[in-house]
């Protein structure tokens, strides 16, 4: 069966520090991969999605970047965090046109 | 215009009643439609998906899709307090992109 791992579960980082969140998927090949952010009490904002290794589509211009160095690995990064980067970050995978399956999420607080 | 729109609620219904959640989408070419449930502080979990016009039933849940009106809904029969959560509508405007609405908060009171 397929599983998705996302870590860490919580993270507190100072303003201006770098960020790296990693997500890996097991049990499937060539999945679509997604990074979403959810602000408190709000919906899921699509940040990036990827249909293959090295292929990244950015939905919202911002202080973040994403990379897909391997088929089942998706990384979200920032060189310098802003207060506005705080939120609940969710990684997800899907097959083409199918439902998304989510990791446990990372609650990021920038202080 | 937002790609996927939902009433934020809260929608309050008594236990045992039918809860009706609605969603509209802007891209007429959208092919796949999903309903997720999210408890506070947790990841969303899939409740139902629907691809064709009409109704699809699964237990207490019924999804309804009307592509001509660009409208998808979720009915929850015999609502229980454990159904209290935020319900997210999601749409694929392209096969490789999945867009979520802001969610509707449902409160089922005893």
The CA distances from residue B81 to A6, A99, B30, B40, B78, in Å, are 30, 26, 33, 14, 10
- For the CA atoms of A49, B38, B4, A38, the dihedral, rounded to the nearest 10 degrees, stands at -50
Give the whole-angstrom CA distance, residue A7 versus residue A105: 7
Interior angle at CA A94, CA A92 and CA A98, nearest 5 = 130
Task: Evaluate the CA torsion angle A65, B87, A31, B51 in order and state its sign.
Answer: negative
Q: Using the predicted structure, report yes or no on whether residue A85 has a pLDDT greater than 70.
A: yes
Give the whole-angstrom CA distance, residue B59 versus residue B56: 10
Dump pLDDT digits (tens) for A2-28.
899 999 999 999 999 999 999 999 999
Q: Which of B50, B42, B51, B75 is nearest to B61 (CA)?
A: B75
Closest chain B CA to residue A99: B34
Residue B1: pLDDT band (50, 70, 90) is low
Dump pLDDT digits (tens) for A29-71.
999 999 999 988 888 999 999 999 999 999 886 789 999 999 9
Which of B41, B44, B99 comes nearest A46 by C-beta? B99
Read off the tokens for A1.
């069966």
Q: Is B96 on the interface with A (CB under 8 A)?
A: yes
Q: Using the predicted structure, report yes or no on whether residue B81 has a pLDDT greater than 70.
A: yes
Read off the tokens for A28.
């499937």
What's the pLDDT score for residue A60? Answer: 81
Residues of A in contact with B102 (CB under 8 A): 42-43
What's the pLDDT score for residue A95? Answer: 87
Q: Using the predicted structure, report yes or no on whether residue B95 has a pLDDT greater than 80.
A: no
Averaged pLDDT of chain A: 93
Dump pLDDT digits (tens) for B9-62.
899 999 999 999 999 999 998 989 999 999 999 999 999 999 999 999 999 999
What's the pLDDT score for residue A40? Answer: 83
């Amino acid at each position: 069966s397929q599983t998705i791992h996302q870590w860490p579960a919580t993270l507190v980082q100072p303003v201006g520090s770098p960020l790296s969140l990693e997500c890996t998927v097991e049990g499937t090949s060539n999945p679509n991969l997604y990074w979403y952010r959810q602000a408190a009490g709000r919906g899921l904002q699509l940040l990036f999605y990827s249909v293959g290794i090295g292929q990244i589509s950015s939905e919202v211009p911002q202080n973040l970047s994403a990379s897909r160095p391997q088929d089942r690995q998706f990384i979200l990064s920032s060189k310098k965090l802003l207060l506005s980067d705080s939120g609940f970050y969710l990684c997800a995978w899907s097959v083409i046109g199918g439902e998304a399956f989510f990791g446990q999420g990372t609650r990021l607080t920038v202080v | 215009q937002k790609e996927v729109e939902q009433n934020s609620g809260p929608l309050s219904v008594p236990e045992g009643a039918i809860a009706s959640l609605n969603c509209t989408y802007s891209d007429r070419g959208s092919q796949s439609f999903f309903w997720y449930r999210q408890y506070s502080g947790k990841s969303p979990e899939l409740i139902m998906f629907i691809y064709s016009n009409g109704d699809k039933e699964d237990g207490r849940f019924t999804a309804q899709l009307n592509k001509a009106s660009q409208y998808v809904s979720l009915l929850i029969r015999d609502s229980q307090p454990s159904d209290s959560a935020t319900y997210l509508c999601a749409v694929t405007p392209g096969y490789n992109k999945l867009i979520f609405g802001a969610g509707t908060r449902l409160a089922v009171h005893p």
